[in-house]
Structure 1
Amino acid sequence: MTKTCDYFFSPQSPYAYLGHERFVALAAQYGVQINLRPFDSGKVFAVSGGLPLGQRAPQRQAYRLIELARWSKALSVPLNLHPKYFPVSGDPAARLIIAAQFAHGTERALALTGAVMRAVWAEERNIADDATLVALAQQFDMDGPALLRAAAGASVQSTYDQYTQEAISANVFGMPWYRFRDEPFWGQDRLQFLEQAFAGAA
């Protein structure tokens, strides 16, 4: 039986960025197929009690920076605590990732996802900018302009809405969020437990 894991995330999330490559590697190691599920974090927060970063209490905002620096150092993953283009809407990039999945499959869409995340957190690039998205797609030999046009289409938007509703129905309230055999794992700091679940699965 094929083992699958749902991967709920928004591409502008720093914690999704910190966990992305490790998660992809674990799934490959244990033969787990990833169900890519980028979602609209604003809509999920609206029904789950989450707040956009700018609306969180100062104490929470301050501690967030400490944790990001701590994890960046621990994982040796470069991360700019104050990126030039953040906060940024993740919607255009999420739609591009879905379009890439339609056209090129999940593996290449996952590679594009990692590049999008690095663009925000390590490369000072604006992932809400069309030219940036085209350039990112073309790094993977994808037709950037064609992919961007596809990302603006009704089928991609419908899928994005579907994934967002799936996240809400799955009781997702943060990101990254992994769901394996109906068991939820919230956060890149839960990848140890997810790996245990992968290893124990028949």
Structure 2
Amino acid sequence: MAQIDYIYSAHSAYAYLGALRLYEICKAHDVVLRHKPVLLSPVVEAAGGLPFAQRSQAHVDYFFGREIERWAEWRDLPVISCRPTFHDNPLELPNGVIITAQEAGLDADAVSFAILQAHWRDDADIADHQTLHALMEGLGLDADALLEVALSPDVQEIHRRNTEEAMEVPVFGSPTYVLDDDPFYGQDRLDMLERALSKPFAASNWSNPPVDIKAGS
């Protein structure tokens, strides 16, 4: 049975926008989906990406504004009309809840989507214990047990390992889907990911010269 490693963060706009389509693909192709939440900023920076605060206003307005609006309309998903109020809050707890659900054999898909949706539809603080408690109760889960374990050393070790492994891929952003060691970055690659499940792409034989960052390219 094929497995897709789903590398993302619990506050990722594009993970939210692509999640339901991803779940459809996995169900249609009988694929195991392995949620691997990460701390996104160090992963992106390790791959050479700029921190959010260092990106141009034009870049931010397009990729984290207009594109979100269009994809939300395309996917028929509601989103707020601005950067979420609590977007810079810590990710250890919400990511940890997703990891805990998966390790316990619960519906990690539903847990993940509920958190992403609360952040991007409701402008909720997903780092807040009470917010997450209400979300998990709404799914009919034992919220107390999930939240108690989410910040435990064992779960946070998985979280740390996910983040380190994402750096090794390398992952350029969230979401990234890895199938047979071949990463597909961005929810706009979901159609290609689905194609790869039935007809794998040819192995890459592309070669680039080394990038000289100091000289520019």
- Structure-1 residue corresponding to 2:151: 152
- Structure-1 residue corresponding to 2:112: 113
Name the CA distance, whole Å, in 2 between partners of 1:172 and 1:84: 26
Name the CA distance, whole Å, in 2 between partners of 1:147 and 1:89: 18
Name the CA distance, whole Å, in 2 between partners of 1:89 and 1:24: 26
- Structure-1 residue corresponding to 2:132: 133
SS of the aligned residue for 1:5 comes to strand
AA at the equivalent of 1:91: E
Q: Deviation at 1:21?
A: 0.8
- Structure-1 residue corresponding to 2:100: 99
Once the two structures are superposed, residues 38-91 of structure 1 have per-residue CA deviations (whole angstroms, 9 ceiling, x without a partner) of: 111122123112234333211111112111111111221111131333343332
Name the CA distance, whole Å, in 2 between partners of 1:168 and 1:71: 27
Name the CA distance, whole Å, in 2 between partners of 1:86 and 1:76: 22
- Structure-2 residue corresponding to 1:60: 59
Gaps of 5+ in 2: 201-217
Gaps of 5+ in 1: none
Instruction: Note if 1:76 corresponds to 2:44.
Output: no
Question: Which deviates more, 117-126 or 87-96?
Answer: 87-96
8 Å Cα contact 2:38/2:159 also seen in 1: yes
- Give the structure-2-normalised TM-score: 0.86
Q: Which has the larger radius of gyration?
A: 2
- Give the structure-1-normalised TM-score: 0.93
Question: Which deviates more, 129-138 or 54-63?
Answer: 54-63
- Structure-2 residue corresponding to 1:169: 168
SS of the aligned residue for 1:36 comes to strand
8 Å Cα contact 1:12/1:88 also seen in 2: no
SS of the aligned residue for 1:104 comes to coil
| Runs of 4 or more above 6 Å deviation | none
Aligned-pair identity in percent equals 34
Once the two structures are superposed, residues 75-120 of structure 1 have per-residue CA deviations (whole angstroms, 9 ceiling, x without a partner) of: 2111113133334333210011111112233xx1111000000001
Which structure shows the higher helix fraction? Answer: 1
Let me know the Cα RMSD of the aligned residues: 1.4
- Structure-2 residue corresponding to 1:181: 180
8 Å Cα contact 1:5/1:33 also seen in 2: yes
Q: How many residues align?
A: 198
Instruction: Note if 1:21 corresponds to 2:20.
Output: yes
- Structure-2 residue corresponding to 1:50: 49
Name the CA distance, whole Å, in 1 between partners of 2:176 and 2:23: 13
Name the CA distance, whole Å, in 1 between partners of 2:72 and 2:51: 22
SS of the aligned residue for 1:28 comes to helix
